[in-house]
Amino acid sequence: MKLWGGRFTKQTNQLVHNFNESISFDQKFYRQDIAGSIAHVTMLAKQGILSNEDKEVIIAGLTSIREDLDNGTLEITTEHEDIHSFVEAHLTERVGEAGKRLHTGRSRNDQVALDMKLYTRDEIDELDELLKGLLEVLLELMEENLHTYMPGFTHLQKAQPITLAHHVGAYYEMFRRDRSRLADIRKRMNYCPLGSGALAGTTYPLDRAYSAELLGFDGPTLNSMDSVADRDYLIELLSALSTISMHLSRFCEEIIIWNTNEYRFVEMDDSYSTGSSIMPQKKNPDIAELIRGKAGRVYGALVSMLTITKGIPLAYNKDLQEDKELTFDAIDTVKGCLLLFTGMVSSMTFRKDVMEESAKKGFTNATDAADYLVNHGVAFRDAHGIIGQLVLLCIEKNISLDELSLEEYQAISPVFQEDIYEAISMKTCVEKRMTIGAPGAEAMKQVIEIYKKELN
């Protein structure tokens, strides 16, 4: 069934049809296509371009098609070129003459631009819900672990002690920015292309502001050529999705490291792990690795979209049909990753004792020991050198700084007194860091309050 058979004298070559069709994938937005058509005829009737009677008949027909597609009694078949042709053909079959008036003052170019925007907007809302769910899990973890000490790393070498709450909080910030990025995109894209026609608008007295309002847009788009050719918002979305994937991938990488026999900071729940077909002892973090891997696929979609659009002259060209599969795939991939990641983290066991032990072993309090000397009048550079010597001594003796005797301290610098032990205890090192953004529980509590308000 073609919408454009009139000027043709031959049937389309079957290979051409197969190569050209988009219904195998754009059927994904049949609900949005029907919603767009309902708004369009409602506007046409209000403007007197279509009779109220026709409007009612068309809306009833479209609604019945949507219901039948929803419950599976109507099947989408690929002899139609795209979802727009499919819906229109079925409408006319069901309601007769009136169905043929549906496409008045509209082109598939503004129609597809609309459908894709409506679909994307709905998906952005779902992505935001998933991100919110993840933030809730992370916030709970933070509240439970304000005093769970662990090493903070630079260069993957133990650096200074922090808390698990603080480490998780770093990811909280990343996913929080991801949400705000999605919100920005949603706001910027939320203008309605319907009524732009093929490229040059239409001579019918459409009320574009009205159809925009019916569909929940902030207004109509302001240039009809741009409206049918713009895919910027998809590039922005794919970029935001790439960033979410990158954040997930980074966190997964850490979890994979923490889950190793060498670290043992966490243990993956059995329900989120897999085994080996040959090595009976194995319990692998496949889900974390898959999420890390899928970032590559999402980046691929971004680069594809940038490349597809770079040489397209105004206005619509068929290249733009290539926006769909990769965007759908990227959205579905990220939604899947968010869902699985949230489940994985909330079922994981954090071995707090191992984390704290590890923080104690890695001289993570060396900076605080140097600060102790500075507080007693020693210049920082000299203090750095003194603590360096003490660390060397500890390495030789295979002990930590707090296990040195006061005599050993004083042999290197007479400034040390009994209170050095208190000054370099894990508790002091962490809890004294109280400026906003630091790991001390007092600082963290203030930040958590901000997050809580924001989440509700």
Q: Residue 198 and residue 226: Cα distance in Å, rounded?
A: 11
Closer by beta carbon to ligand ARG, 30 or else 409: 30
- Among 134, 135, 320, 424, the residue binding ligand ARG under the rule CB under 6 A is 320
Specify the DSSP class assigned to residue 160. E
Amino acid letter at 22?
Answer: S
Q: Which of helix, strand or coil describes residue 162?
A: strand
Report if residue 242 touches ligand ARG, rule: CB under 6 A.
no
Looking from the CA of 293 toward its CB, the CA atoms found within 13 Å total 6
304 is catalytic: no
Q: Which of 17, 276, 277, 376 is catalytic?
A: 276
CA terminus-to-terminus distance, the chain: 50
What contacts 216, CB < 8 A, 6 or more positions away? 121, 190
Q: Residue 234 and residue 120: Cα distance in Å, rounded?
A: 8
Rounded to 10 deg, the angle between the 286-309 and 232-258 helix axes is: 160
Stretch that binds ligand ARG, among 70-78, 187-195, 283-291, 318-326 (CB under 6 A): 318-326
Q: Residue 26 and residue 379: Cα distance in Å, rounded?
A: 69
Closer by beta carbon to ligand ARG, 22 or else 342: 22
Closer by beta carbon to ligand ARG, 58 or else 228: 228
Which tokens in the block code for residue 74?
């109507």
Site for ligand ARG in 45-104 (CB under 6 A): 82
Least gap, CB of 86 to ligand ARG (angstroms): 11
Stretch that binds ligand ARG, among 63-71, 105-113, 179-187, 424-432 (CB under 6 A): 105-113
Q: Residue 170 and residue 167: Cα distance in Å, rounded?
A: 5
Report if residue 190 touches ligand ARG, rule: CB under 6 A.
no
Report if residue 22 touches ligand ARG, rule: CB under 6 A.
yes
Least gap, CB of 69 to ligand ARG (angstroms): 18
- Among 27, 37, 92, 109, the residue binding ligand ARG under the rule CB under 6 A is 109
Instruction: Report CA-CA distances (Å) from 254 to 48, 102, 156.
Output: 62, 55, 10
Least gap, CB of 320 to ligand ARG (angstroms): 5
Least gap, CB of 223 to ligand ARG (angstroms): 18
Which tokens in the block code for residue 135?
């933030």
Stretch that binds ligand ARG, among 179-187, 258-266, 317-325, 447-455 (CB under 6 A): 317-325
- Among 104, 223, 304, 321, the residue binding ligand ARG under the rule CB under 6 A is 321
155 is catalytic: yes
Rounded to 5 degrees, what angle do the CA atoms 234, 238, 244 make? 145
Report if residue 112 touches ligand ARG, rule: CB under 6 A.
yes
Which tokens in the block code for residue 275?
């085994």
Residue nearest to ligand ARG (CB): 321
Q: Which of helix, strand or coil describes residue 217?
A: coil
- Among 40, 94, 101, 108, the residue binding ligand ARG under the rule CB under 6 A is 108
Closer by beta carbon to ligand ARG, 67 or else 319: 319
Least gap, CB of 188 to ligand ARG (angstroms): 22
- 249 near 191, Cβ under 8 Å? no
- 447 near 169, Cβ under 8 Å? yes
Minimal CA–CA distance to 107: which of 202, 41, 28?
Answer: 202
Contacts by 366-372, CB closer than 8 A, 24 or more apart: 366/391, 366/401, 367/160, 368/160, 368/423, 368/424, 368/428, 368/429, 369/401, 369/420, 369/423, 369/424, 371/423, 372/416, 372/420, 372/423, 372/424
Q: Residue 338 and residue 361: Cα distance in Å, rounded?
A: 34
Closer by beta carbon to ligand ARG, 128 or else 322: 322
Site size with ligand ARG, rule: CB under 6 A: 10
Stretch that binds ligand ARG, among 108-116, 180-188, 332-340, 446-454 (CB under 6 A): 108-116
Least gap, CB of 321 to ligand ARG (angstroms): 4
Least gap, CB of 265 to ligand ARG (angstroms): 48
Specify the DSSP class assigned to residue 331. H
Least gap, CB of 22 to ligand ARG (angstroms): 4
Stretch that binds ligand ARG, among 68-76, 245-253, 314-322, 367-375 (CB under 6 A): 314-322
Looking from the CA of 123 toward its CB, the CA atoms found within 13 Å total 27
Catalytic (active-site) positions: 155, 276
Residues that bind ligand ARG (CB under 6 A): 22, 26, 82, 108-109, 112, 316, 318, 320-321
